[in-house]
Amino acid sequence: MSDPTQTAPAVPNPLLDFSSLPAYASITAAHVEPALRAQLAVCRAGLEALLAQPAPSIATLVEPFEQLQQQLSRVFAPVSHLNAVVNNEALRAAYNACVPLLAEYSTEIGQNEELHQRYQQLRNATPGLTPTQQQLLEHALRDFRLAGVGLPAAAKDRFKAVMQELAQLQAKFDEQVLDATHHWSRAVTDATELAGLPAQLVARAAALAASDGPAQGWRLPLDGPTYTAVLTHAHHEPLRREFYEAWNTRASDRGPQAGQYDNSARMEDILRLRHEAAQLLGFANYAELSVATKMADSVDEVLVFLTDLADRYRTAATKELAELTAFAGRPLQAWDIAWYAERLKQERYAVSEEALRPYFPLPRVMEGLFTVLQRLYGLQLVQREVPLWHADASYHEVTTGAGEVVGGLYMDLYARSGKRGGAWMGECIGRQYLQGTLTRPVAHLVCNFAPPGSDQPALLTHADVTTLFHEFGHALHHLLTRVDYPSLAGINGVAWDAVELPSQIMEQWCWREEALPLLSAHVDTGEPLPAELLERLLRSRQFQAGLAGARQLEFALFDFRLHAQYNPALGGRVLEQLAAARATAAVVPAPAWNRFPHAFSHIFAGGYAAGYYSYKWAEVLAADAFGAFEEAGVFDPATAQRFRDEVLACGGSREAMAAFTAFRGRKPDPTALLRQQGLLA
């Protein structure tokens, strides 16, 4: 990306050019707000003209309005993406200036009574609607209700103000986490403190220290790969503790940056405003509002689902922690768990993530992934030269075996400063086929793997491979849609607790003996993963499944109860709710200064508020759905085609339960997941 502080040249704004892919190499921060304001003006004027028609129809109102909304998405999707992957002060300021503008417009559309009435008329009086058109109108009418279209004027104004303030608070929450993460690192001058750490990570730490100046030694940054490696492999317990504390007190009132980026008050404000918005719309709390668009039917259904699974996982986790403590020969602290677990895993299965790394060089993993996609869905990915935002990024054209272009995929896979942590798939361009014009879908796929060394490609852990497959599952959901309307295409319009089904089912191939040889080859010798090592890896799948599941249920219960049990008189009670969730699900004691919620961007800045349970919900769906592949063969083309047709292609054009049952022939059963994780009696 070019210098974001420079003044935008007097040429057409690249963000307003929809003729091709985003001109990432040309976009500057100075382009952002002018482009958004210009497109918002186009959308408002366009909607006014559409509503002036005497007798609107699907073709003359809904389709052109979908196109206007898609154009707005095409302006802001690249901006949101750049803010996440090459964050800097100028871009951040431009992004933050746009957040309230978008929130204002979104609420304005949702509360437009005339547009709402036209959609109602079309739903009630249009003969011959297709099922997709019916779903589109139903979703739109639901969204009008949830935007407050039926509220009195004063309540409408208040709802609009709440949504604008929430958008700004959530963006600031994420910024604080990003800054806290990138403004802490650990200088090391004694090499003995690095014992156990992967050689590639140590080399990178030396390079980072050298880039800071003439000082000798190493600098360990607080990014995801380094944090995980330190907690899992560093023999030096004080180093593990320092990293655990720095990571788990980010953006809080405790830890090495205490108060510097504190999200405490921001969390309270976010929870208060969400609760107020829900009550303005007639819901008891924000969890009830959240469930209104989910696959789950009620707040109680979600709570029963979570507490039932928590009982199952906690029983297993208690036994696993006891085994680990006996193995360590001493009581364990939170920063000891991963280190001793890795040692026990090596002893029990003679397999470790670091020992597997040389067998998963990224080029080989990508080659194997592409082979899996070709066998399942007949897809090919071909790298193309297009404007990019960073040298790490790449672009791939996705085609069928017959050469038909399906869409495109950007990838940006390595951790670096200025890039948000985690892994995600985001929409760049959504599919639409309206007014005789086809727009093919394009996705962003982002990970934060440890970068390559000076003389080696990036080497992935098996967990990294699983993460890559997970995000590719989301990308397939976006790319393989056959829905013509952008608001229902890909992941759009899909119930949030079902949106993880395509991603979690893709993870299953990372645990199959039919697929793993395609993904692995030793970085030095090219030899495949030895059969004995492969067998040990597969046997290790159930290792500490109880502890892992209990941790995820702890997060899900915390999130859901936080929103379902919010009391304005008492405030968010964030740490109190965290303690209650841990008492229900967790077995690993956390220190009193742990401030995990302060960096929980999924629920305070992302789309998972009162919805983090979706990961476990969809894990049940994915394990059960994969059973169809196990029955027919994991590369069975007929089963893959059926999954593509019934789930991936239909996006939000049908309800999630209907999509699942159309594929599986029945409703989901959690037995498959419990069996897979060794939790059945």
The catalytic site residues sit at 471
User: Is 553 in contact with 585 (CB distance < 8 Å)?
Assistant: yes
User: Is 612 in contact with 556 (CB distance < 8 Å)?
Assistant: yes
| Number of neighbours of residue 444 by Cβ within 10 angstroms | 24
CA distances from 557 to 131, 286, 366, 478, 481 (A): 36, 14, 35, 29, 32
Cα 664 from chain centroid (whole Å): 25
Amino acid at 239: L
* CA distance linking residue 203 with residue 207, whole number of Å: 6
* CA distance linking residue 46 with residue 41, whole number of Å: 8
CA distances from 345 to 239, 329, 528, 602 (A): 22, 16, 22, 30
Bridging pattern class, strands 432-434 and 437-439: antiparallel
User: How many Å is the maximal CA-CA distance in the chain?
Assistant: 80
Helix ranges (DSSP H) in 147-190: 153-182
Q: Which has the closest alpha carbon to 390: 453, 446, 428, 442?
A: 446
Amino acid at 662: A
Helix ranges (DSSP H) in 8-62: 29-51
Sign of CA dihedral 187, 189, 193, 195: positive
User: Is 502 in contact with 477 (CB distance < 8 Å)?
Assistant: yes
| Number of neighbours of residue 570 by Cβ within 10 angstroms | 9
Three-class secondary structure of residue 413 per DSSP? strand
* CA distance linking residue 597 with residue 315, whole number of Å: 25
* CA distance linking residue 408 with residue 413, whole number of Å: 16
Q: Which has the closest alpha carbon to 492: 477, 506, 507?
A: 477
Helix ranges (DSSP H) in 86-198: 89-110, 113-125, 131-146, 153-182
* CA distance linking residue 84 with residue 66, whole number of Å: 26
Helix ranges (DSSP H) in 596-636: 601-604, 614-632
